[in-house]
Amino acid sequence: MSDARLEVLVNGKRVEVEPGTTVAAALLNVRVPSFRTSVRGDPRAPVCGMGVCYECRATIDGVAHQRACLRVVEPGMRIDTGSGR
Amino acid sequence: MNAIRYECDVAVVGAGPAGIAAAVTAAGAGARTIVLDEGTGPGGQIWRPSVKVGQPSRASAWIERLGRSSATVLRSTSVVTAHAADDRFVLRGESTEGAVEIVCRRVVLATGAHELFLPFPGWTLPNVFGIGGAQALLKSGLNVRGRRVVISGSGPLLFPVAASLAKAGAELVLVAEQATRAAVVSYVASLWRRPSTLVQAASLRASFIGARYQTGTWVSHAHGDDVLRGVVVADGKRTRMVDCDMLCTGFGLVPNNELARLLGCAMHGRFAIVDDTQATSTSGVYTAGETTGIGGVDAALVEGEIAGAAAAGARPSAALLARRNRLARDAELLARTFAPRAEIKCLAKPETIVCRCEDTTLGELDGRWTARQAKLYTRAGMGPCQGRVCGAALECVMGWPSDTVRSPVQPARLSTLTADFSAASKPSSTE
């Protein structure tokens, strides 16, 4: 693997991530505290890693409720977390 | 958004080992074959390529065979509805690009399984993962270096996941197997016929030798404010606190049979009932792999080959059938050995969330209800995961068989459901 990094925007902040990484892994690596806010207001983060639990939902390039574990990072991708249900 | 229609003889849903074997075999028998998969490439969960180290060789061999075959692979595509129409089946799916519709003569469902997550206090905290979940995230680039990890669960998945986390630089604190020591010892003894499995297990164990492996032990509680700080470990007699910043927990696998149930296939419990050729009770629908019993990759490959041949109108070989039956017996032994013990099923307290999508707590449920009533009164099972997590958990904890499956089987864009394929698309078919 090359050491090339690519840049994405996480909650408006530029972040360098490793190519090939899923959005879920990339967000966990930069220690995003919460992917989504639950119905009663608790922070939630990925559990199943395979598209089943829907806990990793994030807004990707403006499209809400994307399963971050099923998407691979792309240069310039805009990822927003912590939104409600 | 695009709307593309494909026509084919055999549509395979899922490109894990069972789906790959089915597609390769069906295409090899001359059927026009399309494989659909949610992942970014074929392999499924067990053969998910690692960002760092690529694929194991058996996986690459099968994936190469799929690549060389005439089957068309639609990746990053989720199938959200399926129905029969005359002598055809119509599957509708979506990807980030748009909607797809597959019109086919036969369907092979190779939809695999997900983990059984059972609720306990603190299980909704960030950094509490599934065991397979941690493996999947690790392979997709999660950095675990220096993380202090506790694994609490059951079954053969614990060893490879502990080993890969340790190899990736995590500090394994404890691997807790809920099955009794006697059950595990008797299972290991039964492996004498397959010494390679024993050697593999020993080598995996060696790679996380710094951590304790304890049978008859489980995590009863995870604590932390907004993120995991530690766990309470129990063995039925005493409890102790263990600090960690990552917990991996799961108690076996639950088959993904939503599409099979939607298509009316008869079930035995959570598993699809199949005949010798992997045909379900719905004519034209076949299923292979974990959907018929949790048998692992060897069983999935054999069942996939049988289903692929049968769906293409060919006759599976007697050798394949014999091998499949032998592997099915192994699956039964595994299920018996690692069945969750009673204590694991009653860890949740009244204030513990049981439905993670809707934040329904155990205390809101009434033991006299059915899963349907729980849905109507509390919304448990009505969120985005559509009961995939809490449905199996409540079946285990409350004894409620899961509610009926309805279309769409997972959240979908309205444009996928309303797309007019007759007008908007150029009908295309595979070669």
For residue range B3-56, what is the model confidence (pLDDT) as tens digits?
Answer: 999 999 999 999 999 999 999 999 999 999 999 999 999 999 999 988 877 778
pLDDT-derived band at B402 (thresholds 50, 70, 90) equals confident
Quote the pTM value. 0.95
Rg of chain A's alpha carbons, rounded to an integer?
12
Q: In this predicted structure, what is the pLDDT of residue B427?
A: 44
User: Which of B128, B141, B357 is nearest residue A22 as measured by Cβ atoms?
Assistant: B141
**A–B CB contacts, 8 A cutoff, strictly below:** 120
| Tens-digit pLDDT profile for residues B199-222 | 888 889 998 988 899 999 999 999
Chain B partners within 8 Å of A46 (Cβ): 129, 133, 137
Question: Rounded to an integer, what distance in angstroms lies between the CA atom of residue A5 and that of residue A76?
Answer: 12
Task: Indicate yes or no: CB of B126 within 8 angstroms of CB of A72.
Answer: no
Peptide bond just before B408 cis, omega within 30 deg: yes
What's the Cα-to-Cα distance from B340 to each of B121, B128, B180, B345, rounded to whole Å? 17, 19, 10, 7
How many degrees, rounded to 5, is the angle at CA B125 between CA B122 and CA B127? Answer: 125
User: Which of B226, B385, B389 is nearest residue A43 as measured by Cβ atoms?
Assistant: B226
**Which residues of chain A have a pLDDT value below 50?**
1-2
Query: B390-398 and B371-378 helices cross at what angle (nearest 10)?
Result: 120
Q: Which residues of B touch A (CB under 8 A)?
A: 38-40, 45, 51-52, 76, 78, 96, 114-115, 117, 124, 126-130, 132-137, 140-143, 226-227, 256, 356-359, 383-385, 388-389, 411
Question: Rounded to an integer, what distance in angstroms lies between the CA atom of residue B230 and that of residue B210?
Answer: 19
Rg of chain B's alpha carbons, rounded to an integer?
22
Residue B324, C-beta contacts closer than 8 angstroms, at least 6 positions apart: B299, B302, B303, B306
Task: Indicate yes or no: CB of B114 within 8 angstroms of CB of A39.
Answer: no
What's the Cα-to-Cα distance from B173 to each of B162, B288, B289, B406, rounded to whole Å? 10, 37, 33, 43
Chain B partners within 8 Å of A50 (Cβ): 45, 114, 132-133, 136
Q: Is the pLDDT of residue B2 over 90?
A: no
Which residues is B393 bridged to in the sheet? none
Task: Indicate yes or no: CB of A21 within 8 angstroms of CB of B140.
Answer: yes
- Please name the residues between 36 and 55 in chain A that touch chain B, using a CB distance below 8 Å: 38-40, 42-55
Helix (H) or strand (E) holding A15, with range, is strand A13-17
Tokens of A21: 């990484």
Q: Is the ipTM of this complex over 0.85?
A: yes
B77-92 CB burial, b ≥16 within 10 A, e <16: bbbbbbeeeeeebbbb
Provide the residue count of chain B.
Answer: 431
Task: Indicate yes or no: CB of B132 within 8 angstroms of CB of A51.
Answer: no
Which residues is B232 bridged to in the sheet? B221, B241
Is residue B27 within 8 A of residue B71, CB to CB? The reply is yes
Residue B350, C-beta contacts closer than 8 angstroms, at least 6 positions apart: B361, B362, B363
Question: Rounded to an integer, what distance in angstroms lies between the CA atom of residue A53 and that of residue B170?
Answer: 24
Is B136 in a helix, a strand, or coil? helix
User: Which of A20, A28, A51 is nearest residue B38 as measured by Cβ atoms?
Assistant: A51
Is B389 in a helix, a strand, or coil? coil
Q: In this predicted structure, what is the pLDDT of residue B54?
A: 76
Closest chain A C-alpha to B261 CA, distance in angstroms: 17
| Mean pLDDT, chain B, whole residue set | 94
Task: Indicate yes or no: CB of A25 within 8 angstroms of CB of B140.
Answer: yes
Between strands A78-80 and B33-36, the pairing is unpaired
Query: Which of these, B209, B211, B206, lies nearest to B244 by C-alpha position?
Result: B211
Between strands B360-361 and B353-355, the pairing is antiparallel
Q: In this predicted structure, what is the pLDDT of residue B423?
A: 56
CA-based nearest residue in chain B for residue A66: B96
